[in-house]
Amino acid sequence: MIANKQNATSVSEVYEDWFLDYASYVILERAVPTLEDGLKPVQRRILHAMYDMEDGRFHKVANIIGQSMQYHPHGDASIGEALVNLGQKDLLIDTQGNWGDTNTGDSAAAARYIEARLSKFALEVVFNPKITQWQPSYDGRKKEPIQLPVKFPLLLAQGAEGIAVGLATKIMPHNFCELIEASIQILKGETPNLLPDFLSAGLVDCTHYKGGAKGSRLRVRSNIEIKDRKTLIIKDLPFGTTTVQMIESIVKAADAGKIKIKKVIDNTAQQVEIVIQLIPGTEPETTRDALYAFTNCEVSISPNTCVIIDDKPVFTNVNELLKISTDNTLHLLEQELLVQKRELQEKILYGSLEKIFIEKRIYRKIEECETFEAVISTIDAGLEPYKKQFYRTITEDDILRLTEIRIKRISKYDSFKADEAMRKMEEELNETEDNLNNLTRYAIKYFKELLKKYGTGRERKTKITTFGAIDATEVISNNQKLYVNREEGFFGYGLKKFEFISDCSDLDDILTIRRDGKYSVKRIADKVFAGKDIIYLHIFGKETKNMVFNLIYRDGKNGATFAKRFKIAEAISNRDNDLTKKTPDSEILYLSVSPDEKAEIVVCELVTGFTKQDKIFEINFNSIEVGSKTAVGKKVSKFSVKSVETSSKSMFSIANKTIWYPNKK
């Protein structure tokens, strides 16, 4: 029993604190990359470990994983997976051995069999210990970088994907050369527009890309080549799709009857090649459209650009990321120049001190000194007349370095060579100061050098285009048959004992009209209930939407008869809609459907109680305008009609009409 309940902590409070800690850890340390260097912690630690090991030779991946575990406390599996992923991007790591195949989905060989080293590009762009900020590793035994000083938009070049707690990131990879050119545009004050590029090539529609911001969308396709009337060839893949997934989706669509193919052959080796053999008589263009509509030949991707900025997840877009990355590169280049400037100044200062120390024979004056303090004082006094020419104050450490000069060096000192070396260092210093004063110009030159050295072979692979929307119902094969049980009110492709209507596909919507004046549109299935007494049934497509319906109905309230003409161009699915006045016991007496607006004349006979002359009258549908399907219609009689027949006075053939009479259900 708790002695003091006021000081107790509830389980819910503990859970809330722990959950927030866990969520923050996953977001910051596992799933979402940091903006500055574009890396997740495991990637950063792998690269840092490889830099420690760098000697120009390949290292076993198992050894690299072991070295990385000094910095990453999550086991070898996560490190190995991240390392293989980095290697497959073919930018920062040179690989040797079987590193798997992103096209086929084959995994890499075991870590003990494959090797890796840092690429020349990575060594030039990613590392510089002199400007790197450090932090203790998880066990305090080592130092690891907080961020690596990456002088390139690495995050946009490689892309990133991760799922955290409550958020996710999905950043598309972009073209190496285009990123450099876009960075140069930003430095020149221009506004670039980045579009993704994938190593898997293919086609991409960026109409709704929106810079990869949250809510944007990409459509990515394989480029399907029509070799001949019987053969299609797929030579590239949509981003994130493998040949295995592609073939499985094609076989599944074929089994479902959505596409008609004879065989799928996978000839993929170094390059993707999937051969699709068609059934004779099949249109290759239609099959290609069906492949885009029903298989992984086309995929839709929803980018979501989320990165860590100042230890917080931020949603942004790739163009803004590139601008921030370019500014960061500018800052890093400035830091490197400042370091270079200080190093040159120090070299020039020490060279000058050495020259004075030797040429002015100050080293001779210290021979008579009896104490080390006297030596320091003598050298300091000898340098006094020259101190004004130096950029900073001469310290005791500078004097101590002079005392370490060996007699052999003094005896072989060459004043001419020393002056020449000093002149070169001063030229370098002047150039460095000029670059600092013209930092933007220097950054543009830097990016151009990167493009010249590493841009060859990194040209755009994915073709940017726009795709027309493919109506799946138009390209799908008629893989089902439509049946109807009119009396009980069911339709579907499983009612094979009942009335056959037509061939159809399993994507078709079916329009039904019932005797009580209700109509509905529902997706076909094995068995679908539409309502009893179905008098009209048709696939709801473009043809149906252009049909003109001629209707006569009896109002259930007072028995009056109405006539109307209308089209059903659209309808809300799975909902009953009225064609009458919505009164109970209303009934359709006559319905005809025509593909045009030509109308017939019908003869109506009233119920008993009228003379023969008053009992029969005609309705000319041509005199009724085509209106809304929800309209009440034109009242043709305040009495109930007994029967309706087509008049012999009709001036055109009614062979192309669908006609229903109450006595001909």
- Angstrom distance (rounded) from CA 598 to CA 619: 14
Q: Output the domain CATH number for residue 133.
A: 3.90.199.10
Residues 292 and 352 in one domain: no
Residues 262 and 139 in one domain: no
Of 536, 552, 535, the C-alpha closest to 641 is 552
Residues 253 and 337 in one domain: no
From 22, 25, 113, 350, active-site residue: 113
Q: Report the amino acid identity of residue 403.
A: T
The DSSP secondary structure of 527-567, one letter per residue, reads: SEE--SSEEEEEE-SHHHHT-EEEEEEE-TTT--EEEEEE-
Chunk the chain into consecutive blocks of 10 residues (it has 665) and report each block's average pLDDT, rounded to whole numbers: 52 58 63 86 94 95 95 90 93 94 91 96 95 92 93 93 80 95 95 92 91 90 91 92 93 85 90 91 86 91 88 88 94 96 92 86 82 87 86 87 85 84 92 95 96 94 84 67 92 92 84 93 91 91 85 90 91 88 90 84 82 79 89 89 80 57 53
Residue 621: both structure tokens together: 């549908």
Domain annotation covers residue 274: yes
Domain annotation covers residue 497: yes
- Angstrom distance (rounded) from CA 514 to CA 503: 22
In whole angstroms, how far apart are CA 598 and each of 489, 537, 549, 603?
Answer: 31, 21, 11, 17
In whole angstroms, how far apart are CA 412 and each of 100, 247, 402, 405, 496?
Answer: 59, 77, 16, 12, 108
Residues 449 and 498 in one domain: no
Residues 336 and 296 in one domain: no
Residues 274 and 366 in one domain: no
User: 486 burial class (0-12, 13-18, 19+ CB within 10 angstroms)?
Assistant: buried
| 30 DSSP 8-state letter | I
- Angstrom distance (rounded) from CA 564 to CA 562: 7
- Given its phi and psi angles, is residue 543 left (phi above 0), alpha (psi -120 to 50 degrees) or beta? alpha
Specify the pLDDT at position 1.
43
Contacts of 440 (CB under 8 A, 6+ apart): 187, 330
Domain that holds residue 600: 476-660
- Angstrom distance (rounded) from CA 94 to CA 47: 12
Specify the pLDDT at position 247.
94
Residues 489 and 534 in one domain: yes
Strands 463-465 and 203-205: parallel
- Provide the angle, in degrees to the nearest 10, between the axes of the packed helices 439-454 and 415-437: 100
Residues 552 and 650 in one domain: yes
Residues 441 and 485 in one domain: no
For the chain, how many structural domains are there in total? 4
In whole angstroms, how far apart are CA 391 and each of 355, 386, 620, 645?
Answer: 16, 11, 107, 113
Domain annotation covers residue 412: yes
From 253, 283, 301, the end of a domain falls on 301
Kindly give the residue spans of alpha helices, DSSP state H, lying in 89-233: 120-125, 154-158, 176-187
Of 150, 179, 200, 172, the C-alpha closest to 38 is 150
Q: What is the pTM of this model?
A: 0.75
From 90, 124, 149, the end of a domain falls on 149
- Angstrom distance (rounded) from CA 268 to CA 274: 7
Residue 376: both structure tokens together: 């320091």
Contacts of 337 (CB under 8 A, 6+ apart): 432, 435, 436, 439, 442
| 646 DSSP 8-state letter | E
How do residues 504-560 score in pLDDT, each as one tens digit?
Answer: 877 788 999 999 999 999 998 899 999 999 999 998 887 788 889 999 999 988 889
How do residues 193-218 score in pLDDT, each as one tens digit?
Answer: 999 999 999 999 999 998 989 889 99
Specify the pLDDT at position 22.
60
Catalytic residue flag (residue 391): no
From 118, 149, 180, the end of a domain falls on 149
